[in-house]
Every structure is written in structure tokens, then in C-alpha cells.
Chains A and B, each alone.
Chain A
Amino acid sequence: QQQVKQSPQSLIVQKGGISIINCAYENTAFDYFPWYQQFPGKGPALLIAIRPDVSEKKEGRFTISFNKSAKQFSLHIMDSQPGDSATYFCAASADYKLSFGAGTTVTVRA
């Protein structure tokens, strides 16, 4: 049973556009919510993370929005670039173990 549900499975965005990926969870013990970027054949790379006491966090072109009451969080990639084409995973942690979503493949068209 997947503890973190991620959508959409894939998305295509034009260069300069905004990519939005959504995740939902049920376990209220989760206290840390990171996003990872993964290229084919590589390990996941930590992009940005948030704690549940914060509603939004921005780092460069990447923003996490967090809604604790709805148990949902999302990643916004602003000004999407072809180099952003990758698979993105949301995750949630309780007691140091990460539970990952199924991933979203983002394709940025030039």
C-alpha cells in the first residue's frame, strides 16, 4: 500500500512554462517532506524539502506548497527548462524512513 500518492504520472510542458506535481498522504506521523529529481540510470538527487509547520518554501525556480489540513503538498517548477526533463518523486518521512510516491516524468519541450 503506497503511503504517498503522486499525480500526474507524466506531464509535458513548454519551455518557460510551469510544471505542477501533486502529492497526498494519510500518515499524520510524517514530519519531513522532500522532493527528489532523478535522471535515467542515476540516483535520486534532493531538490528541496519542507517541514509541516511551514506552508511554502522556495529555492530558485522550485517551490513547495504544503497544506497540512488537507494532507497535500505540491512542487511547482517555474520557467521550466529542457534540462529539467526528468522524473520527480515526492516523499515523506517518519522515523527517518522515506516513503516515496510513484514518480512523475516531466518532459520540457523547447
Chain B
Amino acid sequence: DTGVSQNPRHKITKRGQNVTFRCDPISEHNRLYWYRQTLGQGPEFLTYFQNEAQLEKSRLLSDRFSAERPKGSFSTLEIQRTEQGDSAMYLCASSPPAGAEQYFGPGTRLTVT
């Protein structure tokens, strides 16, 4: 399968713990995006990378959130000191060079207890 992959698919953690998610984009896609989706809502933009450069971060991305894309390949999203309000589906998407279309992965479902 050559689609966007995300790991883990599900994560249950206790409030206050740190969690890290990984996204592997489609091969040769140079832009990579992170979105958050809560139940019954559309995805909300968090941040995006062009190659290894993080070009924009949403105001939704508090100081507890950090994303990286070393070497312009896979990306990680880390949430420190998780709160119950962080419970959501975290979606990753990627785009080809010179293309506007975004292809989403299956998401990581985070539950903070």
C-alpha cells in the first residue's frame, strides 16, 4: 500500500503523560500536514511542512504540541502533558510537488483519561 500511514492507530494515555505519533507520507510528496478532528466536526489545520521546513502553525497548536519532519521524510507530532481536551483523531496528509490535493492517512485516535 502506498498511501499515507500513521502509527499508532489508537493511543490511550493518562492525563499528564507525553505521547508521540508518527506519519509516513506518500513517497515523493514534499508537503506534509497535521490536522485534528473531534467527534462530529471537520478536521482542523494544525501545522504543515514543506520538505523539512515547518512553514505554518495554527493558533490551535499550543506550546505543549511540537512537530518535526527530519530529513523531509516522516513526521512526528508530540503532545506533552496531555489534557482531556486533547482527545481527538489526529490526521496526517501529504501533497505532491506542485499539487494542491491532500491525501489523508487513517489517523491516530487519542484518548486521554
Contacts and interface: CB of A to CB of B under 8 A. Distances in A.
B2 to A, nearest CB: 15
A93 B100 contact: yes
Contact of B45 (A41, A46, A98, A103): A98
Contacts of B43: 44, 89, 98, 100
Interface string B39-63: 0111111001000000010000000
B104 A103 contact: no
A32 B43 CA distance: 17
B40 A98 contact: no
Contacts of B65: none
A43 B104 CA distance: 6
Interface residues of B, number: 23
A61 interface: no
Contacts, number: 56
B31 A96 contact: yes
Interface residues of A, number: 24
A85 B20 CA distance: 33
Contact of A101 (B42, B100, B104): B42
Interface in A66-89: 89
Interface in A14-37: 31-32, 34, 36
Nearest to A100: B42
A4 to B, nearest CB: 8
B82 interface: no
A82 B91 CA distance: 26
A102 B40 CA distance: 7
A49 B101 contact: yes
Interface of A: 6, 31-32, 34, 36, 41-46, 49, 89, 91, 93, 95-103
